[in-house]
Amino acid sequence: MAVIRDVMPNFDLVQPASLADARKLLDSDPDNVWLMAGGLDSFDWLKDRIRKPKTVVDLTGIDEMRGVRAWNDGIEIGPLTTLTDVVNDPMVKAKYSILSQAAELVASPQIRNQGTIGGNVSQDTRCWYYRSGWPCYRAGGNLCYADTPVGRNREHAILDAQRCVAVSPSDSAPALIALDAKFVISTKNGEKTIDAQDYFLGPAIDITHMTILKPGDILTAIRIPGTWANSKFYFEKIRDRNVWDFPLMNIAAAMKMSGNTITDARMAVAGAAARPWRLTDVEAQIKGKTADEATGKAAGELAVKDAVPLQFNAYKIPLMKNLVKRAISGVQEATWEA
């Protein structure tokens, strides 16, 4: 097990003023560069001496990667925009309130003032075995310490647990998936744009990374089209404490309605799988249905049909069922049951 020293290793700190300057730095030595935005995830890795990069590139001086602006029929958010600014932005609040709600539930006000939307979606998993330096599958070893008879796995995955059972800890990611956001990435070969749900990787694709970012890649923009603007939104986060904590599970839902009938829907959860998990089967089932408790209850059962609990996280199955039900039928109409 790693020795926690709380002292960072030596590294060169570089603070580019433009994306072009950052691109040059990354192209010169991508494998030995650590990108830092708000620094909240980075400082944990550096202080615990698990990561020892040669150069840390602080992106916070790049103004073009900050702020919320109009884009086509939607908005574009710079990845360096703080979570507090996302919460308070008038365009986000007016058209995409689900993202404002999700961002406002991240950690504490102090952390939201420093943490960025790009950092929140790009942070690494918080599994304590992995973060403490144990040689698990995700760290390149040959064992998942959480998925053993003596492992502590209360916060771990019930879905898509292939060798690694660590989960995505992001609150904003499910909301961005529900809004059909697009992520713009600068690579050494040029720029590419991908769907938000494809930004995140499960262990079957790449067990050592949570996102599609490769050494030398930079997330440069998050674009939200007008497709789901002003839909019926629902976001709920369940955690041990009302502030600070990462989610045990959260849910984001966007539904288009005709009266009380659901005409289309997007729904995603975090805390259930290694990546934010889009509930495509649920989306298909509830189209054309009435947004009531019966529809919500049936959808909740469908959402967990492939769930496999570990020793200490079976509570996540009824939790997920009820979150799905509440997202569809509303809190007043829903009851919590196993």
pLDDT digits (tens, 9 = 90+) for 104-122: 999 999 999 999 999 999 9
Beta strands in 116-228 (DSSP E): 182-187, 190-195, 218-224
Ramachandran category for residue 190: left, alpha or beta (phi over 0 → left; psi -120 to 50 → alpha): left
Q: Is 176 helix (H, G, I), strand (E, B) or coil?
A: helix
pLDDT exceeds cutoff 80 at 91: yes
Domain residue ranges of the chain, discontinuous segments joined by +? 12-60, 232-329
Query: Which tokens belong to 56?
Result: 């840390």
Same fold, 12-60 and 232-329: no
pLDDT exceeds cutoff 70 at 337: no
DSSP state of 285: H
The percentage of residues in the chain with a pLDDT greater than 70, rounded to a whole number, is 96
Query: What is the CATH T-level fold of the domain 12-60, as seen in this structure?
Result: 3.30.43
- Please spell the DSSP secondary structure of 65-101, one letter per residue: G-SEEEETTEEEE-TTSBHHHHHH-HHHHHH-HHHHH
Query: What is the CATH T-level fold of the domain 232-329, as seen in this structure?
Result: Enolase-like; domain 1 (3.30.390)
Q: Round to whole Å and give the CA distance between 308 and 327.
A: 22
Q: Average pLDDT for residues 222-229, to the nearest whole number? A: 98
Query: Counting every residue, how long is the chain?
Result: 338
Q: Round to whole Å and give the CA distance between 44 and 30.
A: 21
* Nearest of 198, 199, 201, 195 to residue 218 by alpha carbon: 199
What per-residue confidence (pLDDT) applies to 212?
97
pTM: predicted TM-score of the whole model, two decimal places? 0.94
Q: Average pLDDT for residues 153-168, to the nearest whole number? A: 96
Q: Round to whole Å and give the CA distance between 225 and 214.
A: 26
Q: Average pLDDT for residues 308-325, to the nearest whole number? A: 98
